[in-house]
Amino acid sequence: MGGELRIGQCVDRYRIERVLGRGGGGSVYLAESDTGEDVALKVMHEHDLTGVARKRFEREADFVKKLQHPNIVRLLDFGYTRESGLPYICFSYLEGLTVKEALRLEGPFTLGRILRITHEALNALEAAHDMGIIHRDIKPANVFLERRGGREVVQILDFGLAKALEGERLETTGLTRTGYRLGTPRYMSPEMARGEDVVEASDIYSLGLVLAEMITGHPVITEDMHVAIMLEHASDRPLPLAPEISASPLAAIVRHAVAKHVDQRYRDAVEMRAALNEIEPPPEPVAVPIPIPPEPDAPTIQMTRPVVVSDVSMGEALTKKMPRPPPVVQDDAPTVVQGIRIPEEPSTMEISADAPTHAWRAPPPPLKLETPPELSLWVAITVGVLLAVMAFILGVALIV
């Protein structure tokens, strides 16, 4: 089969889609099952078919199969390829990022997010410890933040280095193929760095380092040389913690979790979670409603020019209730309809909030009758003639 699987190649009932990652114990592929489901397929490297590596790979499948927990990645299948007999483990495919990837993209996490991630990781470790299983490789790359239904759910990955507390000892050499002890040096507990037996508190030490990294955005130990890192863990000197950690509400919890001596550390996940519960979580952000401006058809509107409805001026403004403004002087000629002058005076109006403005008709203002100048002249002449005639008739009557 070769060292790497090809895109489109079938492994039993799984079709390889693409590579998700590679590690010391094998490569992980996105694959599609014969039912159309996306899965993560971890296949052991061909050059590790014999010895301790194969035993470790098979042990991971056995441990994860026993650990059915909401915060531990779910095992779907385990078997051996037909062509080369390579062991493979089939896991649920998870959408999201590891803590390592999220820190690289986003920087330090908020306090609320740190508390939630640490709580869920402790829940997973408690389940494993209750079954007598120590993970031995807790690190940001093995804490996965799955996106599920609009929220973030922790999934603990990679039990390939897990160890049963009873019935199993560390491998005789305690070394990996590359010559380093089991585990990732930067997150290794002092017991592992010294080659001693691990206990539940060994996972707590590693999780304490992850907790500190979520606060600062970078590892507690920044040395590049593996030997220097392991010497730092194995020494009795307390780990140097960044100022951001000292200023954090979680400072005391971090110091207690990464204490060098086991008897000075939290004994297990339950004890550390109890300490976390004493930290007051920050309040959830409250959504502040954004004011919405009134729509154009709303009853409260401001107008810069008079609005005429049915040839009647409505004044310069329409509001729900507006005091009468001072009279507006119009430069143009007044409106005259069939000899009747309609004064251009605004009026106080009340409009129901439920009534559309375009259906409202203003009551007509009081009408003032005004006689045209031409009519007044003719009336005066007529009255004068009538008076003259009446005077003439009265004079004739008196003479007779």
> Is the predicted pLDDT of residue 302 greater than 80, yes or no?
no
Tell me what the mean pLDDT of segment 46-50 comes to. Answer: 62
Better-scored residue on pLDDT, 267 or 365? 267
Q: Choose, from 48, 137, 203, 268, the residue flagged as catalytic.
A: 137
159-163, 291-295, 348-352, 371-375, range with the lowest pLDDT: 348-352
Convert the pLDDT of each residue in 184-225 to its tens digit.
Answer: 899 999 999 999 989 999 999 999 999 999 999 999 998 889
Q: Are 380 and 387 spatial neighbours (Cβ–Cβ below 8 Å)? A: no
Q: For residues 82 and 87, what is the distance between their CA atoms, to the nearest angstrom?
A: 10
**Tens digits of residue pLDDT in 56-82:** 777 777 878 888 899 999 888 888 887
Chain centre distance of CA 263: 39
The predicted structure's pLDDT at residue 351:
40
In order, the DSSP letters of 53-84 are: HHHHHHHHHHHHHH---TTBPPEEEEEE-TTT
CB hemisphere CA count around 242 (13 angstroms)? 17
Percent of the chain at pLDDT above 70? 68
Radius of gyration over alpha carbons of the chain, in Å?
44
Instruction: Tell me which residue of 34, 5, 1, 9 sits closest to 22, measured CA to CA.
Output: 5
pLDDT, mean of residues 254-264:
96
Which residue bears the tokens 């939290």? 266
Q: How far apart are the first and last CA of the chain?
A: 154
Rounded Cα distance between 138 and 146, Å, is 17
Amino acid at 296: P
pLDDT higher for 179 or 268? 268
Q: Considering the chain, what is the average pLDDT of its residues?
A: 77
Task: Report the pLDDT averaged over residues 239-251.
Answer: 95
Query: For residue 369, what are its two tokens?
Result: 């009758």
Query: Exposure string (b/e) for 9-21, b if CB count within 10 Å is 16 or more?
Result: bbbbebbbbeeee
CB 142 within 8 A of CB 157: yes
The span from the CA of 306 to the CA of 316, in Å, is 5
pTM score of the predicted model: 0.66
**Residue 102 tokens, joined:** 């999220």
- Tens of pLDDT along 20-39? 888 766 789 999 999 999 99
Is 137 one of the annotated active-site residues of the chain? yes
* Burial of residue 344 (number of CB atoms within 10 Å: 0-12, 13-18, 19+): middle
Band (pLDDT 50/70/90 cuts) for residue 116 is: very high
Mutual angle of helices 200-216 and 99-106, in 10-degree steps: 20
For the chain, list the domains and their CATH numbers.
10-92 (3.30.200.20), 96-167+181-276 (1.10.510.10)
pLDDT tens for 144-164 read 999 988 899 999 998 876 666
Higher pLDDT: 303 or 375? It is: 375
Residue 341 burial (10 A CB sphere; 0-12, 13-18, 19+)? middle
